[in-house]
Structure 1
Amino acid sequence: MKNSPTYRTILTTVFLLVCLNITAQESYNNGFSSQNDSQYQKLKSLGYTEKEIYEDLGNANFLLEKYENAAFWYKKLSELEGNKALGSNYQKRYQFAMEQTADIHTVANNGNDWLEQIKEDYQVKRAFEARQASQSVTSNRRDFDFNPSYRSQSLEYLVEYERNKAFIGVPHAKRSDMEETYESPIAVTSDGQTAYFSKAIYLKPVKGIFSKKELIQKIYRTDKINGQWKNVREITVAPKHASAMHPAISEDGKRLFFASNMPGSFGEYDIYVADISYRGNAGKAKNLGTKVNTKKNDLYPRIMEDNTLVFASEGREGYGGLDLYMTQVGQNNVDYATNLGSPINSSKDEYSMYVMADRGIGYVLSNRGKNKNKIQEVAFSYENGTQSKADERESNLRAALNNKLQIDYTTSVFEDK
């Protein structure tokens, strides 16, 4: 069943939407928004005709109950046909989408099985194409396999696919507020052969038979085999009903840092570390203790040179929102976290930072712009002699980023036994 062309076609239609991160359309009467233009251009670059693009995006949005978006694309399809009436099934979906957008909620689905209807449309189209002797059906068809292995050389594509699987077919599915604003990057080992990422899954709560499923974050690993990313599997570092997310891997690939709200955490989310065995399994997770973690959220760990851990925290008195902190993490000890100061931090949220040590510059990922939901890269210099060296926090930053500096570790062991 799952290998049939029909099954692959309809799931691919849905995935075309999810992979492109489609959001609600502001107005389908005012042409392309930047989001719609991006979706259009991506599919256009893959060689699809305008009709194919309008059909696919209309159907995909419809199946995910994004009715305003679906109406937008069905309207474009109608205009392409010279404002003629659409095919019977397309016209039904267009009308239904318009009714939902106008808050005219029809009973159930008017007896329509939308999934079967769309599958039927694609079957008819393929039958027509098969009669075209001038070109092979397989040379330019859209019903490629829903399994992304044919694009597995793209790690980003694989992770996007994995992260969005939980939301396919779930009415009104929504990512967590944290992941809506800034989704943690993929952590790749220094040899480029292993990657870690977090994604959401839905689980039934332990208590409450009739309770809705909960959105839980889990960490997954994938390996690059013969040039392709394969063997996606969960790395168990937290109890079943606790979240683990934002993985960061040490340079030697032997330690995995992450954020979790598992029992025993000091706050909402704490930073943890787990050893990775040569077989790729994770050992017992250790909490980095109160030198790092607070009673609120501690998130987005990132390992830099010489065991320097940078993370975001909202549990200390800082500049506002999430601030970036750094600490030194040895094999069995950890130093006190230090605020990286201004201009690294601001009154808004800072999520992570990247540096180019050989050039003395880097950038911070922050929402300090006018739109708090938009992440910006803010450049900075940490070796500029004109900066005030009296600022102790900036001095700490320069010390943390100087890979030639030797720092003595404290004797404090991780506080979670």
Structure 2
Amino acid sequence: MKKILYTAFFIVLCLNAIAQKKALNQAEKEYNNYAYVNAISIFEKVAESGYQDEKLFQKLGNAYYFNAELSKALKWYDALFALNKEQEPEYYYRYSQALKSIADYSKSDEMLEIFNEKNQKNQKGITVINHKNYLEQIRRNSGRFEILDAGINSNESDYGSAILNTKLVFASARDTGLVTKKIFKWTNRSFTDLYTAEIKPDGSLGNPVKFDKNINSKFNESTPVFTKDGKTMYFTRNNFLAGTKGKNSDKITLLKLYKAEFEDGKWTNSVELPFNSDQYNTAHPSLSADEKTLYFASDMPGGYGQSDLYCAVINSDGTFGKPENLGPAVNTPGRENFPSTAQNEFYFSSDGHFGLGGLDVFTAKIKEGKIDQVQNIGEPVNTQYDDFAYIIDSTTRKGFFSSNREGGKGTDDIYQFTETSKLECDRELSGIIVDAETNEILAGVKVILLDNKFQQVAELISGSDGSYSFQLNCYEMYHIRAVKEDYETSETAVSVHPSDTKPERIVKLEKQIKKIEIGTDLAKTLNIPTIYFQLDQFSIQKEAAFELEKILAVMQQYPEMKIDVRSHTDSRQSKKYNMILSEKRAKATMEWFIKKGIAASRLSGKGYGESQLLNKCSDNIKCTEEEHKVNRRSEFVILSF
């Protein structure tokens, strides 16, 4: 049976019954020595009286939402969004779910769409790389590779590998003649042709031979990629087709992407891709695992840096969609190039992300067609030199990359590697659950882990020491929800970073039913802000009345209760002036209650001026406005009830 947690009515009835029957056991008698005020019930009465407050509506909506009373939650979420449409992402999600309780699916979908947009922005903001710790992160990601020279390198530049059946295809400048001395803007390298080398059963490579003469020209060819059936290739070449060389407005021959088909034992039908241009470079193609998306690098206008990564959909009829920039999560003001994929893994090289120097290889997961958080794959693949053109077999975890590191044979060399362990980042998030007021350890709390779409991932009960722990994937957004009887449900957004060695979160739960007794200051019990009088003012403003309604609701619940209104000022102005001002404030407050129907006999009050300051801000002490505000307060102390 669902227990209704947020109604003070039943509590009052129980207390009255105890007082009348006087027949309960000692524990019940001890309970009867205290009175309890249900904060949620008080807030709801205040809201029902016509006062509008954003935090109030959030609290009321959440109170019902967490208890699956969505139709009741909807009332307060409606009020919340009517007051302010700009909310944190989770409120769009909760509002969306509440709207389904009345079958308003159209508006629910609208809210969910906004949630998805805002949640992505929020998640990116939380999981951005901590630049101060980037070297530590790289160190943690390192040591996962065995590498060796591929055995096919020359004294010139060799780079940019691809697999075609049982052959490695790569670019080389080893014997292409004097024209190799010509340097081009995009690669800053000599002309290259494509070569192949047989991959032997033991993984070693045979002697390189030139690739198909219909592909190799007198200018650059490099970085090919092949479809799985071996019938289509995409590759990079200088702006040269059918014997004609193209140039940009500065008379420079740039790079373009081309497509060729394998027919009758040879490569033919070379055509350039539709998003090429004489005015900018396109290069380094790569195919998604399903071969429906082409990734590539370009310095086309509108990017984030010197060269960016893009993707274009390959339609079923062979045409291409409009290229889309992969965005700031991948692209930087620097250079991003040489993309490659392996199932849901995305790799590329960059000198704009934080690395060890030059181009480093980075990786990210591909989730629902989007590139997730970027990580440096670490040493020994990455060095302080240029490390790039990384490809890996997702099954064998073997592959090739290129580098101009020291110890190689040429200006660039190709290396083989075996990944000995995958880059999987997860951390154990641990913590304790405590009472927000007393810091008392809370055992037996239901702790629920939710993902970024508020789907439950795990659930546990906090131990006798109040402890809990969950395994979290790095960078991903989660929510921890803590539920305990007689406490307000808490929900906290969390995310862990690779640099977090032992991430911890203390979860504090607010009592739903708050104890009151003689001497209790209701302002503290009901979390009423200490400031609701403006400087040098004593009239009850709208904001002050909103807070006083909470006190009024308690006094109406307990008709015998008497309170003492104690008004305080800050130290500015003279002591005499402040004493008079505080007396006026106390009097104005009591008059407000009397007008609301509270008997004058239940009220007393006094002004204390600046005689009971809560901080150092006395005369001649320099303090900020915020520090002075702490002293400008009223207290509502229970004298009897």
Which one has the bigger helix percentage? 1
Give the TM-score normalised by structure 2. 0.32
Higher RCO (C-alpha under 8 Å, 6+ residues apart): 2
Structure possessing the higher radius of gyration over alpha carbons: 2
Q: Which TM-score applies when normalising by structure 1?
A: 0.48
